Amino acid sequence: MKYYSTRGKSFVNSTAEALLKGLADDGGLFIPEKIEKINFNEEEIERLDYTEFAYKVISTIFDDLDKEKLKTEIEAAYDTFPKDLLPIKNVDNLYFMELFHGKTRAFKDFALSLLPRLIKIAKEENKVDDKTLILTATSGDTGSAAISGFAGVKDSEIIVFYPTDGISLIQRAQMVNSGAENATAVAIEGNFDDAQSALKKIFNDSDFKEKLKSAKYMLTSANSINVGRLVPQIAYYFYSYYKLVKNKEIENGDSVAVTVPTGNFGNILAAYFAKEMGLPIEDFICASNKNNILEDFINTNIYDTHREFYKTNSPSMDILVSSNLERYLSLKSNNASEIESIMNDLKDTGKFEYKHDLNMHGYSCGEEETLEIIDKIYKKSGYVIDTHTAVAVKAAEEYLKENNKKVLIAATASPIKFAMEISKAIGLDLKDEKDAIEKVAKLSNDIEFLKQVDIKDGDEIVIEKENIKKFIEERILC
C-alpha cells in the first residue's frame, strides 16, 4: 500500500514507512492510496470474534505487512482486554458502544495496545535497528494509553506532554505514576493545542531529526496523526454494527447513524473510513463541548480559531485545532493543492473556508447541560456515563428531533476517569476526589480498576510550553 500526503508533495511506498514516519515530510498526514470494501459473512457475524474483525479490517489497509506477524500481534494486543471487550448498552434506543474496557479505560486503548506492535513489525520489515522515540501530545487519555502501550517495549522511549490544568486525578496518576522506565510524562504551562503544535514543528524539523539519527533514534508519534493509531479504530465500528445484527437489533444492511464526542477528529474519521469500507453508516454526528469550533465549521464551512479557549468538564475535547480534520477534508475534496492552501491559511491567519459539502451533522453541549444529561440517564436507567459521552448524547438527541435512525454512540471513557464531575452530576456526598473515584467505581461495577492505578500524588515535571524542544534534546541527546 502506498500512502500519500494530504498536501500532495510527499508519499511513501509502504505501510511500514508510514508507521515509522508518522507525519509526512510536507507537513501533511498520510492517507492510503485506496480504500477497499470488505464484507463479513454469516459465520463471521455469528462468531463475533473481535480479533477476526480487527485482522480483516487492518490487513485490508495494511496489506503489505507480514500477514502472520500482523495476525499474531493483533491477537496478543487484544488478549489484554476482557472477554467481552466491547459491550453495547441500549438505553432508550441509544446504543452505547462501551469503548473503555482496556487497561486505561479509554477508547484509545484499542489502538494504542496495538501501535507498539505495529511499529515493531515495521522496524523489522525496514531493517531499522535504531531506538524509537515516541513523542505524544495529550489532553489526558492518549497519554495514559500510550504509556501503557509502550511501557517496557524494547528499544523505545516515549515522552508525553499534557496541560497542567484540565486533566483528572486518574489521568494524571496514570501518566506520572506509571512506573515505566522508558516513559516520561511532562506537564506544560499551556493547552493541548500548544503541545500538539510544538510537536508538529519538531516532526518537520530536519536538523533535529538528523541529530536524533546520529544518536541512533528514529522519531514517530502515538497521536492520531499516525495511521497506526487511526486504522485499528475502524474495526470497532464494524464489530459494533455486527453485534447489533447478531443481537437482532437491526437487520444486516440497515443504515445507522454514529455519534462521536470529537476533539482531534480521529475517532469520527475512523467511522468515516468504516463507511468507505462498506459499513452502512448513513449519518455522522460530530459532538462538541463549549469549544464548539467543529460545530460552527460543519454549519458554516468556515473554520475560525479566533475564539476563546475554554477548560471544560469534558477536557479531552478541549481542542481548537483538530489535526485529523485535514484527512477528512482531503478525502472529501481529493484536491491536495486545495488542502495545502487551506492549511497554510490556517497557519497564517488562524482560519480557512472549505468549498465542499461536509456531509456531517454538528451539535454542541455546554457544561451544565452535560451534567444534567448524566443525571437524567442515571436517574432513568441507573446507567452511568462520563462527561464526553454525555456530550454525544446531547448531539444524538438533537439529531433525532429531525431523523429516525438507530444511533450508535461512542462511549469513549469510563466514568471513573471523571469521577468528580459524575459525582457532582448525580449528587453524591464526597470527602475528596479519591472518595469520588471509589464511589463511581462501585456504581460502574469496576472496583478492579482501582487496584491497577496508583492514585497517590507523584513527582510532576512542569515546563513552559516554549521549552518542549529543549526538554526533548536534554532528555534524549545529552
What whole-number distance in Å separates Cα of residue 77 and Cα of residue 455? 25
Question: Closest Cα to residue 465, out of 206, 208, 187, 172?
Answer: 187
Tell me the residue type at 292: N
388 in Cβ contact with 364 (< 8 Å): no
Q: Coil, helix or strand for 352?
A: strand
The CA angle 374-419-369, to the nearest 5 degrees, is: 30
C-alpha cell at 366: 455546554
Question: Catalytic one among 108, 290, 394, 439?
Answer: 108
Q: How far is CA 321 from the centre of its chain?
A: 14
C-alpha cell at 17: 514507512
CA count, 13 A, side-chain hemisphere, 190: 18
Cell 512506573 appears where?
A: 179
The CA angle 170-173-175, to the nearest 5 degrees, is: 115
Q: Which residues contact 43 (CB under 8 A, 6 or more apart)?
A: none
Whether 347 sits among the annotated catalytic residues: the reply is no
- Terminal CA-to-CA distance of the chain, rounded, Å? 38
Q: With b meaning 16 or more CB within 10 Å and e meaning fewer, what string describes 49-70?
A: ebbbbbbbbbbbbbeebeeeeb
C-alpha cell at 225: 496523526
143 in Cβ contact with 108 (< 8 Å): no
Q: Which ranges of 277-386 would DSSP assign to H, the alpha helix? A: 293-300, 325-333, 336-349, 367-381
CA count, 13 A, side-chain hemisphere, 292: 18
Nearest 5°: phi and psi at 423?
-60, -40
CB burial of residue 234 (10 Å; 0-12, 13-18, 19+):
buried
Q: Which one-letter DSSP state was computed for residue 413?
A: B
What whole-number distance in Å separates Cα of residue 315 and Cα of residue 291? 10
Residue 247, Cβ neighbours under 10 Å: how many?
12
Nearest 5°: phi and psi at 456?
-65, 155
| Catalytic machinery residues | 108
